[in-house]
Amino acid sequence: MESDLLQLKLLEGDFVDQWIISQATTTFRGHRRTICYPDLPSNKITHRVVDTSQIRGQRIRRCRRRNALQRNALLEGLHLEDDDIFIFSDLDEIIRKKDRNIVVNETEKHGFVFFSMRYYFIKINLIGPKQWIGPFAATGKFLREHPDYTVNKLRVQRKRAVKGFMKHIPISGQHFSWLCPWDDDRLIKMKNRNNSWERGKWNQDRLIGPKGTPLTPVPVDHTFPETIRANPRIWDKYTYEAIQGTC
């Protein structure tokens, strides 16, 4: 799943000059993980491996400390030029090729912006009712003038950290949250445990997602990345089977 999402992200983001990919040596819960090196030309990628093994325990606070270390490593050792544009997004937050101009233009205009996108749960074609506001972009000038704004702070504490810079720009991208193939629910159970959510778990019959979120099946149409539509054998396993015939 992670490999499929990474390849999708890289292909959609072919307008990116340089990728900086950060991986932790342990999972969210602190278990050892295998480091997977992305398949990209070496001159287009900076790969950071962050040692998070020193943080022990599985309490949520410690888990989030691991996340913070991994995120903050993205900007380590970089020389920031004023006109650089840095786009920060998790693996499952897909910024479309067609989003490029609005991402660049709005970031240059405001210095720091968040982007809202469609929010899908469990399957790539089960959409939730709300927009997801997670990925953000900043100019090199903004980051240089605000050295106390770590990547984690910008992501997690944005309402307090960047008051006055809260520009939400809608884009055509998708957040494929808790994605899992077919009826394999191991990832969903793990996510429920990681986020301490004991209610509103995935119910395929009633199409209810985490926290009781109602989900609606939609076709995999022109609004989806070209890579998904061009590779049905890979992506069919991530579609809701009741409408696979229309995808």
The answer on pLDDT for 106 being more than 80 is yes
For the CA atoms of 245, 91, 174, 138, what is the dihedral angle to 10 degrees? -160
Mean pLDDT throughout 92-119?
95
Cβ–Cβ < 8 Å for 148, 68: no
pLDDT above 90 as % of the chain: 53
pLDDT, position 247 = 37
- How does residue 193 score in pLDDT terms, banded at 50, 70 and 90? low
**Domain boundaries of the chain, sorted by first residue:** 2-177
51 φ, ψ to 5°? -80, 105
Q: What's the pLDDT score for residue 179? A: 87
Burial class (CB in 10 A: 0-12, 13-18, 19+), 180: buried
Query: Phi/psi at 99 (nearest 5 deg)?
Result: -85, -10
Helix (H, G, I), strand (E, B) or coil at 72: helix
The per-residue pLDDT for 59 is: 87
In total, the chain counts a number of residues equal to 247
pLDDT higher than 60, residue 62: yes
Name the E strands within the chain: 19-24, 45-50, 85-88, 93-94, 112-121, 126-139, 168-177, 216-217
Task: Return the pLDDT at 41.
Answer: 63
Distance CA 30, CA 94 (A): 26
Confidence check: pLDDT of 188 > 50:
yes
- Averaged over 221-244, what is the pLDDT? 86
> What is the separation of C-alpha 165 from the centre of its chain, rounded to a whole number of angstroms?
21
Does residue 192 surpass a pLDDT of 50?
A: yes
CATH of 2-177, one of 3.30.470.10, 1.10.760.10, 3.40.50.300, 3.90.550.10: 3.90.550.10
pTM reported for the whole predicted model: 0.86
**Higher pLDDT among residues 207 and 96, named by residue:** 96
Q: What burial letters (b/e) apply to 100-135, b meaning 16+ CB within 10 Å? A: bebbeebbeebbbbbbbbbbbbbbbbbbbeeebbbb
